[in-house]
Structure 1
Amino acid sequence: MTSNTYAPAQKTLHWLIFLLVIGLYGLTFGEDFFPRGDPGRDAVWWLHISFGLLFAVFVVLRVGVRLSRGAPQMPPSMTEIEKKLAHTAHFLLYALLVVIPFLGIFLTWFRGDALTFFGLFTIPSLVAPDRAIASFIREVHSVCANAILIVAGLHAVAALWHHFVRKDDVLRRMLPGT
C-alpha cells in the first residue's frame, strides 16, 4: 500500500468490528438482568449469537481486505521496538478476532443449540452436544474476549499517545474522512 492512510473499506470494517466487540461484550452481561428460564435471558443470547455471526462475517472481510490492500507504512519516527510492538499487537488482535467467533460457534453447537442469524436462517449443530467440552470452550471464549479488550485497549492508548504526544498520523490514518 503506497498511501499513508487505510482504505475506506478498512476503516469502515475497523470501526464496525470495534462496535461489535463492545456490544457483544456488553451482551454477555445482559443475561444477568434476567432469572434463569426467563425468555429475556434467551433473547440476550439469541442476539449475542446473531451479532457474533455478523462479527464473524466482518472479520473474514477485514482479513481479506487487509491481505489484499496491506497497511500503510509506519511513521519513520517510530523506533524498531515500537514497530515490533505494533506488529505484535496487530497480530494478537487479528488472531483473537479470528479465534473468538469460531469458539462461539463451537460453544453454541456443543451446548446442543443451532446457530441462528436474527431469525433469518439457522445453521444446525454439526457436533453432538457435550457439556464438558462446551464448558471448556466457554472458558477459553471468555478468556479470549477479555484478552481482546486488553489488547484493543492498549492499541487505543498507543494510538492516542501517537496522536497527542508524538503528534504523528498513526491515529488519523484510521479515522473516517481522512
Structure 2
Amino acid sequence: MPQVRRLKKSDSNETHNVDPLPKLVTEAVKKATRNSTVDTPTSQRYTAKARWLHWTMAALIVLAYTLILSRTQFGKGSEYRTLVIQSHFWVGIVVLALAFFRVAERRRQRPPGITPPLEGVLRAAATLSHYALYAFLFAQPLLGMLTVLVEKGALPVPLTDLQIPWPLPTSDRTAEYFEDLHKLLGKIFYYVIGLHVVAALWHHIVRKDNTLKRML
C-alpha cells in the first residue's frame, strides 16, 4: 500500500510563499500601459497637448478680436488706442507661433476618429472647415505682421519704446493692400468660426457623436 507523504511545515511555507516580484512587475506594466494609452490615437480624446493648444488659441483669437474692436472706444492717436492695437498685434504673433506647435502635434499624433464615422458631405465639410481654420491661423497673423512691417519699417514692442527694425523698404500702398486683406479675412472668419462652434454643438446635441468630447 503506497505511503502518503506528509507535507512538512517547511514544504508548506515554500508552497505558499510565492515570490511577489513577478506579480508586482506585471501590475506595473499593466498600469504603465493604461497610462500610455491616454494620449494615443486609439483614445477617445485628443492628446492633452493638442487640447491645451486648441483652447489656448481659441481664447487668444477671442482676445485679438476683442482688442481690435475695442479700439474705437479711444481717440485716434491716444496712448490707450495705441496700446490696444499693439496688444492685438502681439496676441496675433503668439497665435502664429502656437500654430506651428499645433501642426507639429497633429503630425506627431493622429487625432482620434469620430464615432459614428462621418461620410459623404459631412466628411467633406469637416475636412474643408478644418483646413480653412488652419489656413486662418497662419494667414491672418502674417498679414497683420506684414502690414505693420511694410508701413512702419519696424515692430513695436508693447509697453515699451523699443522697436524691432525691418530691413526692407517701407511702402504705404503695399501696407494698405495687406491691411485690406487682413480686415477682409478677419470678417470672413467671423462666420467660419461661428459655423465651427455651431457644427461642434450640432455634432454633440443632434448627431450625438464624440466630435466635441474628443476636445474636452
TM-score in same-fold range (> 0.5):
yes
Runs of 4+ in 1 over 6 A off after TM superposition: none
- Give the Cα separation in 2 of the matches to 1:50 and 1:159: 29
- Give the Cα separation in 2 of the matches to 1:87 and 1:66: 14
Residue 51 (structure 1) shift: 1.2
- Give the Cα separation in 1 of the matches to 2:205 and 2:89: 38
Greater shift in the superposed pair: 145-154 or 119-128 = 119-128
In structure 1, what is the equivalent of residue 61 of structure 2?
21
**For 1:114-142, what per-residue CA distance to the aligned partner results, in whole angstroms no more than 9, with x for missing partners?**
22454587532243221111111111111
Aligned in 2, Cα 1:114/1:162: closer, same or farther, shift over 3 Å? same
Say whether 1:92 aligns with 2:127: no
Could you tell me whether the CA contact under 8 Å between 2:87 and 2:158 is conserved in 1? yes
Q: Which residue among 152, 164, 173 is the counterpart of 1:132?
A: 173
Could you tell me whether the CA contact under 8 Å between 1:4 and 1:73 is conserved in 2? yes
Could you tell me whether the CA contact under 8 Å between 1:112 and 1:128 is conserved in 2? no
**For 1:26-53, what per-residue CA distance to the aligned partner results, in whole angstroms no more than 9, with x for missing partners?**
1112221122221111111111122111
% identity of equivalent residues:
31
- Give the Cα separation in 1 of the matches to 2:167 and 2:64: 24
Instruction: Look up the SS of the partner of 1:111 in the other structure.
Output: helix
Give RMSD over aligned pairs: 1.8
In structure 1, what is the equivalent of residue 34 of structure 2?
none
Q: TM-score, normalised by structure 2?
A: 0.75
Instruction: Look up the SS of the partner of 2:152 in the other structure.
Output: coil
- Give the Cα separation in 2 of the matches to 1:127 and 1:119: 25
Q: Which residue among 98, 110, 113 is the counterpart of 1:58?
A: 98
1:41 is matched by which residue type in structure 2?
R
1:174 is matched by which residue type in structure 2?
M
- Equivalenced residue count is 175
- Give the Cα separation in 1 of the matches to 2:212 and 2:197: 9
Could you tell me whether the CA contact under 8 Å between 2:153 and 2:168 is conserved in 1? no
Greater shift in the superposed pair: 117-126 or 146-155 = 117-126
In structure 2, what is the equivalent of residue 170 of structure 1?
211
Residue 91 (structure 1) shift: 0.5
- Give the Cα separation in 2 of the matches to 1:39 and 1:135: 23
Say whether 1:35 aligns with 2:55: no
- Give the Cα separation in 2 of the matches to 1:150 and 1:84: 18
Say whether 1:149 aligns with 2:214: no
Where does the alignment leave 5 or more consecutive residues of structure 1 unmatched? none
- Give the Cα separation in 1 of the matches to 2:197 and 2:180: 26
- Give the Cα separation in 1 of the matches to 2:76 and 2:51: 40
Q: TM-score, normalised by structure 1?
A: 0.90
Residue 147 (structure 1) shift: 2.1
Could you tell me whether the CA contact under 8 Å between 1:50 and 1:116 is conserved in 2? no
Say whether 1:3 aligns with 2:75: no
